[in-house]
Structures are given as structure tokens and as C-alpha cells.
Amino acid sequence: MTAADFTELFGTEAAGHLAQLRRLCHEPVTGWHAAFVAAHTLKGSAAMLDLRGIRDVAAHLERLLSGDAPAGPPAWLADARDACACLEAELLDLRPGAAPSAPAEQVTARLARHPGGTRA
Amino acid sequence: MSAEPLHVLIVDDSALMRAMLRQALRDLGARVEAPATLDEAREALGLRGGHTDVDVLLLDLVMPGTDGLTFLRELRAHAHLQDLSVVMVTALQEDDRLDEAFAAGANDYVTKPVRPTVLCARTLHAARLTRALRARREREAQLELMTASLRSLNEQLTELSVTDGLTGIANRRAFDAHLDRALSLHARSGLSVTLIMLDIDHFKRYNDTLGHPAGDACLQEVAALLRECTPRRTDLTARYGGEEFALLLLDTDLAGGLTVARRVVSALTARRLPHPGSPLGFVTVSLGVACTELTGDVSLREAADQALYRAKHAGRHGAFAWTHPLDMPGAPDRRPPTPAESVVDEPPP
């Protein structure tokens, strides 16, 4: 497989992971674990292809999702919605090895302000 | 490393990761399987058949549904996968999850993004470990088989070393050992030990008349009869040498020994084994009975021998109990039996 094939495959899988993350925004409790796995896989896959913006955003989402599901919507849910929008935009322009885009950096910075969860 | 190419199994829910790991392993020349489902992975790992030739499992730590840790624990529960090297494929910052993975039986890990050179080196190392462990286990199994075989042979040798080849009863060597132990037991605890020495009467004539094969058969018959007459597990029936036998009876007093002697005489008389050279026309035996209750300083063997000697000189086909030493060792005892000397014999039919 060529690098382009891998990138295309990434785009296909990432769309599924993004759908899981969007579901989190609507169902923050029931969709919690699936969203964690999606963020984790997205982070790893992006790292493999050196897609830095997606990797960084996904890494912060994974960190915030790493604890047990909360009883109600987390405080960072609005920022998570913006992160999903950012990821969607990034998926439209996949550039392996490029520096993170400005929107990705801004979302990353906002997510970074929230304390992470703790695993049970 | 054997010439068989490495067999690597990749278990990851991401098709992208499976494809990239497969590509990264390209230089290894390995046979790489990357099934899309865990059930296919279970098949490749022989969870139902109990056998696999997979050398290394590259396992994603975090997966939807059954995650890597759960799957790893499932695998390690199978005996044939104990030696399989498992390399976890993880992201950074998963130290606590890695701790759990190592506790569950992971051997190594690689982090994403995976560098092909690192992945190949660790996979090769892991495969070598798997094969070395499997080879050791095979050698251990072979050694266990050989040890079992040697143990069995040793048991046979031990059995042969204490068994008389012709009659199948204990031989002289076994008798000597048992007598020593019995006398030690007697010295320590006062346990009564009775020894009966017996000899087939006119056996030389038997052999001369009927030939040695018939003589051998006669010895076998008498040995079998003696064994029937000493059924207790603590009794020992031994061939002492030639046509001479010994019965060693533990926890048995003189009266008990005489009971056994009578049983032997009666059984042999009833058997009526033809003996053309015997005055009675059938095989008879003479017996000497001695018990530690009475032998004092005289050895039990010597006492039983002397009693047998007396039985022979008293006309054979009967038993004498030892009650006192002979006046002159080796000389016939001309004295009539005292009331204390129990004499057993069977009248000719």
C-alpha cells in the first residue's frame, strides 16, 4: 500500500471515530466509553500518519474521557463540540507531516485547560 | 532459529493499523496474519484446537468491545498459549494500562507511531523467545517421558533382582533382606518372627528319574502351593536355593508357624504330585520351624535349619519345631522329641 492508500484508509476510519465523538456530545453518559476508544484510536492512527493537528486534538479528548463516565454532561462538552467541528475540517485536508492548523491549536489549547479524568 | 518463517498475528480493530503494521513488518520476511475480527484471531491461535504455530501476537491495548487486556487474559488461560510472546501496541501515556498488560502476561510493547525498525527488532526478539520456550517445553516433555521410561525399567530391574526367575517368588537376596529387617524389628519392638525352612524330599531322585524340566515344574508347583499357604501380605515366600524354600512370618508365634507348616504338609499331600523316587510315591517336604520367642542367642536361620535337619532325620514328610540347640552342630539329633517339640506329619495315605 502507498502512503496515499493509508491516508485514504485513515479518512474512512476517522469518519467513524468522529461519529462516535459527536454522539458523545448528544449522549455524554451512555456514549462515554465508545468515545474514549474512538479518541484513542484516532490519536494512534493520526500519530502513525503524522497528522499532528488531529493527533493533538484527539489526545486531549482521550485524556478528558479517560475516567469513568460522569453522572451528567461534563463542563467541557461545548469545547468537545468545537473539537469535533475542528476534526471534521481537518479530515477534509489531510496533510501528513504538516504542523497543526491554527484552529486545531486553538481547540487544543481550550481542551488543555480542563482537568483530565482519572481511570477507575 | 528454525528455517520455518516467523508467523506473526496482528490483532487490532483498526484496518489502518493492521495495514501499517503489516507494512512495517515487511522486511522481516514473516508470514503475517491480520484478521478483522477477534473470532478469526481466536481461530488462528487455535483456541478450539489447542495448537497454533503463531510465534508473536501484536495486540492492540485499547479496542471496542473486548479490549486487548481482556483478550490477553483469555489467551493466557490456554495451556498451549503460555509460551506465546505477546507485544502490546499502545499509545504513549498508558503506563497504568501497560502495568495491567504485563501483569496479564504481555511480554513487550511498542508505542504508536510505530517505527518499523523497532517493530521488526522487537517482533524478532519475541519470536525467538517463543520458539526457545516451546523448544524447552518439548525437551522437558521428552525428558519426562524418558524419566518415566527409566523409572519403569528400574522398577522392573528391582523386581527382577528380588524375584526367583523359575518360580516367580522372592529369591534368596530378597529373603536375606527381609529377614534382616524382620530381625531388626524384633530387636526393636519384640515382634515375634517365625521362620520355616523347608526342603523337597528326595528331590535329586526326582530329577534323576523324571529329568530336570520336570524337576523345574515340580519346583514351580511347590512354590505356588507355598504362596497359597502364606496369604498374609506380611508373609514372605522365598526360594532359598535348589529345592529349599523359606517362609518368613511376621508377628507370628511358634504355634502360628506350626499351623502354617501343617497347612503346607496337608496341601501338598492332597496335591499328590507323582514322585517315582519317593517311598510314598508323591512329592513331600520336610520343614523346620523356629520362632524368635525361643531361639535366644541362636540365630533364627540356624535354628530353623537345625529343626529341618531333625525333620529330615526323623523320616521326612513332616515338620519339627526348634526348641533347643543340637548337642553337636551337624550331627543328627538322636533324642526323641520332647513334649515341647511340636512334630507335625501326615500319615501315608
The one catalytic residue in B243, B244, B302, B346 is B243
Instruction: Write down the pTM of the prediction.
Output: 0.64
ipTM reported for the complex, 2 dp: 0.86
- Whether B117 shows a pLDDT value over 90: the answer reads yes
Counting Cβ atoms within 10 Å, is residue B191 exposed (0-12), middle (13-18) or buried (19+)? middle
pLDDT tens-digit map of B192-221: 999 999 999 999 999 999 999 999 999 999
Decide: A51 and A117 in contact? Cβ < 8 Å: no
Of A34, A50, A62, the CB nearest to B113: A50
- Residue of B310, B282, B100, B114 whose CA lies nearest to B197: B310
Work out the average pLDDT over B82-108.
87
pLDDT grade, residue B329 (50/70/90)? very low
Of B13, B19, B113, the CB nearest to A9: B19
Sheet arrangement for strand B7-11: B31-33, B7-11, B56-60, B85-90, B108-111
- Residue of B83, B48, B65 whose CA lies nearest to B12: B65
d(CA A69, CA A19) in angstroms, rounded, equals 18
pLDDT of residue B93: 63
Q: List chain A residues with pLDDT less than 50.
A: 118-120
pLDDT tens-digit map of B259-292: 999 999 999 999 999 999 999 999 999 999 999 9
Question: In whole angstroms, how large is the CA radius of gyration of chain A?
Answer: 14
Q: Which residue has the higher pLDDT, B12 or B345?
A: B12
d(CA B25, CA B189) in angstroms, rounded, equals 77
The string of DSSP letters for B60-122 reads ES--SSS-HHHHHHHHHTSGGGTT-EEEEEE-SS-HHHHHHHHHHT--EEEESSPPHHHHHHH
- Whether B39 shows a pLDDT value over 90: the answer reads yes
- Cβ pairs bridging A and B (under 8 Å): 45
pLDDT tens-digit map of B122-146: 999 999 999 999 999 999 999 999 9
Mean pLDDT of chain B: 90
Work out the average pLDDT over B75-104.
88
d(CA B183, CA B193) in angstroms, rounded, equals 7
d(CA B75, CA B104) in angstroms, rounded, equals 10
pLDDT of residue B63: 87
pLDDT grade, residue B325 (50/70/90)? low
- Whether B106 shows a pLDDT value over 80: the answer reads yes
* Angle between helix A52-64 and helix A32-49 axes, rounded to 10 deg: 150
pLDDT of residue B336: 42
**Contact state of B113 with A37 under an 8 Å Cβ cutoff:** no
Of A43, A45, A119, the CB nearest to B16: A45
Beta bridge partners of B206: none
Beta bridge partners of B200: B285
- Whether B347 shows a pLDDT value over 80: the answer reads no
% pLDDT > 70, chain B = 91
d(CA B314, CA B327) in angstroms, rounded, equals 16
Decide: A107 and A81 in contact? Cβ < 8 Å: no
Q: Which residue of A has its CA nearest to B95?
A: A119
Work out the average pLDDT over B319-335.
62
Work out the average pLDDT over B225-247.
96
Which residues of chain B are within 8 Å of residue A41 when distances are taken between CB atoms? 13-14, 17, 62
For residue B94, indicate whether it is catalytic: no
pLDDT of residue A24: 87
- Whether B342 shows a pLDDT value over 60: the answer reads no
**Contact state of A45 with B62 under an 8 Å Cβ cutoff:** no
Work out the average pLDDT over B306-311.
95
d(CA B204, CA B222) in angstroms, rounded, equals 15
- Whether B331 shows a pLDDT value over 60: the answer reads no
Look up residue B253 and give its DSSP letter. Answer: -
